[in-house]
Amino acid sequence: MKRLQPDADQISRLGQGRVLIVGDVMVDHYVSGRVARVSDEAPVPIIDVSEERWTPGGAANVAANIRALGGRADLLGVIGDDPVGAMLDGMLASFGGSGEQRLARDPERPTTIKTRYMGGQHQIVRVDRERRQGLGATSEQFVTTGIAAEARKAGAIMLSDYAKGTLTDAVLAAAFAAGRPVIVDPKRADWTGYRGAALITPNRRELAAATGITCDSDTDCERAAEKAVAVTGAAILLTRSERGMTLYRAGLAPFHLPAKAREVFDVSGAGDTVAAVVALGLAAGLAIEASVQLANTAAGIVVGKRGTAVVLPAELRAELSQAHTAGHRGALPLEIAAGLRADWARASLKVGFANGCFDILHPGHISLIRAAAEACDRLIVALNSDASVKRLKGPNRPAQSEDARAEVMAALRGVDAVVIFDEDTPLEAIMALQPDVLVKGADYTEDQIVGADIVKARGGRVLRVELVAGQSTTRIIGAKT
């Protein structure tokens, strides 16, 4: 089968989808800081806490992903009668989009919380607070009645199963009786309860546990998927980490998509993103192949983010632009970057901007980019084009083409988008992107920094980064000639 790239029309159509999400509603809690010493009381690291974040988890994260993509997500489940459960409405509202929460408050079941303690970029320990027993009769009736009332409005039903007890046999039966395509993100080992689903989205470990067949090789995975298809009657979308994902259907050849090449920062919630995009695509009327390809693209984006996160339409369009643009590898057209920046603004993310020739990348450049990334949530780097560099540095520069410089810059941790500008200054790019933080080396005074007045006028700030002594592209090139 021919692998067609997702197109902009398909991304836009995601906003037309409506999904009913039923399942285990959770909250993800991140406690982050710096580890610089070991406790005297026990051989454990001490975290000097600098940040705490609360985000939707489980079924709530699926809803957040759908809403972030512009779709409607109606969330149905059970939470505790506690302050953390009360926080969920505000958390979900921050992602925009539309939808309702029908969440029963059960005083006998605390809201499930997963707390991850992070030392720098590394997870040190996870603490779970939860009750895994099945729902009581009152809560179960609330969910089954809600499915009957809400399913007819939805284009698809997403069952988010984290084995916390919400998806009882009665809840599953109500979902399959609703007459809508059902997508299941599975956790239980016995998949006979999923019979009637249209699609199931396991990872390799979950498929192996359900079938008793290891998924170490392509052949093993295919055998396990065939067994799962026979048991459930559903198509199987197997996520395979660095090997990408594969769609298995009865009577058809496997449809394989390689992983999108990018640095993996955090896989927390990536399965939720895949399930959300596939469900939204099917609800919006997209073919299953197109929905799977969009989900694969989204997965490549979300694993490059910190913690449980969502994917925005402009991020999908940016990936699409990269795939379709022959030149400027690593760089985005300014209009695509501006759309990306607008989506980040709607998600209340602080956007930084740095610019320069970045001809031969050296420790001074790395120091500046690191400081810039730490000062914002998303960082855009603007590179002088080859013609611009020649005008500024002379006819023998740049040492590397704009395509090469863009590709290297886009690969750096902390850089979320790269653009190329042909003018002598980045003023046009700054006006189009309206950054919240403007970053430049401390060898410039603030009144010399192009765009400083624009950024400060809208409430942003200018960050001047101290230079690394002895680091200069001109000096490096001179030493080599």
pLDDT at 322: 61
pLDDT at 5: 59
pLDDT at 307: 58
Residue 373 pairs in a beta bridge with none
Tell me the C-alpha to C-alpha distance, in Å, between residue 392 and each of 334, 354, 385, 424, 447. 22, 17, 11, 7, 20
For residue 42, what are its two tokens?
A: 């026990």
For residue 105, what are its two tokens?
A: 């408050």
Which residue out of 24, 272, 416, 436 is catalytically annotated?
A: 272
pLDDT in tens, the chain (481 residues): 444 556 678 888 999 999 999 999 999 999 999 898 999 999 999 999 988 989 899 999 999 999 999 999 999 999 999 999 888 878 887 777 789 999 999 999 999 999 999 987 788 999 999 998 899 999 999 999 999 999 999 999 999 999 999 999 999 999 999 999 999 999 999 999 999 999 999 999 999 999 999 988 999 999 999 999 999 999 999 998 778 899 999 999 999 988 765 554 445 568 899 999 999 999 999 999 999 999 998 888 887 776 567 888 888 887 776 654 444 458 888 888 888 888 788 777 899 999 999 988 889 899 999 999 999 989 999 999 999 999 998 998 999 999 999 989 988 988 989 999 999 999 999 999 999 999 999 888 999 999 999 999 999 999 999 887 655 665 555 544 4
Residues in the chain: 481
Counting Cβ atoms within 10 Å, is residue 276 exposed (0-12), middle (13-18) or buried (19+)?
A: buried
**Of the CATH numbers 3.30.360.10, 3.30.390.50, 3.40.50.620, 3.40.50.300, which one belongs to the domain with range 325-480?**
3.40.50.620
Got the DSSP string for 30-96? EEEEEEEEE-SSSS-EEEEEEEEEEEEEEHHHHHHHHHHTT-EEEEEEEEESSHHHHHHHHHHHTT-
Whether the pTM exceeds 0.85: the reply is no
- The domain limits of the chain are 8-310, 325-480
- Calpha distance 68→14 (Å, rounded): 10
R_g (Cα) of the chain, nearest Å: 24
Helix, strand, coil percent values for the chain (each to nearest 5): 40, 25, 35
- Calpha distance 74→63 (Å, rounded): 7
DSSP code for 98 = B
pLDDT at 266: 47
134 touches 167 (CB < 8 A): no
Q: Which of 445, 463, 278, 222 is nearest to 352 (CA)?
A: 463
pLDDT at 106: 93
Active site residue 272: yes
The CA-to-CA distance between both ends of the chain, in Å, stands at: 52
pLDDT at 411: 86
265 touches 122 (CB < 8 A): no
CATH of domain 8-310: 3.40.1190.20
Reported as type and span, the H/E element at residue 369 is helix 363-374
pLDDT at 327: 43
